[in-house]
Amino acid sequence: MSITYREATIADIEMLVKLRLEYLTADRGTLSEKEIIEISNQLYSYFQESIEVSFVAIFAEENSSVVSTAYLAISTKPANPSFITGKNGTILNVYTKPEFRNQGIATHVLTLLIEKAKNYNISKLELSATEMGKPLYQKLGFIDKHSKYTDMQLQIL
């Protein structure tokens, strides 16, 4: 087995959309046809505008087929002591095909993504971990986020 690693480019938008939809289906269950269309349309626009600017994806491939991936969305906010550069990164869409798990592939994908984050001068990386993924993230230095603040959200659409 020979695994190669690379950063996604604008030429990979089709694959990025496909992988995101596969991830969402695995994470949330079957998506409706309307959801697939709306999400796909947004993803195409997002990747065209953001790739190599405020979005990075790393692919692990075997024979030109993606077997593992992770995405990094970069946002800029007013700085504070937690993210002094004002740049914050959110890691998402971390996925490895089941037959390629526990071989260090996801560890290497995330290590490459963390190096990219450093190159972008990102102060802090965040992610939401599943129980299955938590040991991997902890091994890479991620810690549980304890804060005096409560994470809240308001669903608009």
Question: What tens digit of pLDDT does each residue of 101-120 get?
Answer: 999 999 999 999 999 999 99
Mean pLDDT over 58-87 rounds to 96
Q: Percentage of residues in the chain with pLDDT exceeding 70?
A: 100
Whether pTM exceeds 0.75: yes
Q: Quote the tokens at residue 126.
A: 């965040």
Q: What is the mean pLDDT of residues 73-83?
A: 94
Mean pLDDT of 17-32: 94
pLDDT computed for residue 127 by the predictor: 96
Residue 70's Cβ-count burial label (10 Å; 0-12, 13-18, 19+) is: buried
Listing DSSP states for 88-150 in one string gives EEEEEEEEE-GGGTTSSHHHHHHHHHHHHHHHTT-SEEE----TTTHHHHHHTT------SSP
Please, which pLDDT band fits residue 126 given cuts at 50, 70 and 90? very high
In the predicted structure, residue 156 carries a pLDDT above the cut 90:
yes
pLDDT at 151: 83
Buried b (16+ CB within 10 A) or exposed e, 12-39: bbeebbebbbebbeeeeeeeeeeeeeee
Domain ranges within the chain, ordered by starting residue: 3-139
Fold of the CATH domain 3-139: Aminopeptidase (3.40.630)
The answer to whether 13 and 48 have CB atoms below 8 angstroms apart is: yes
Tell me the three state secondary structure of residue 156: coil
Round the average pLDDT of the chain to a whole number and report it. 95
Retrieve residue 1's tokens. Answer: 């087995």
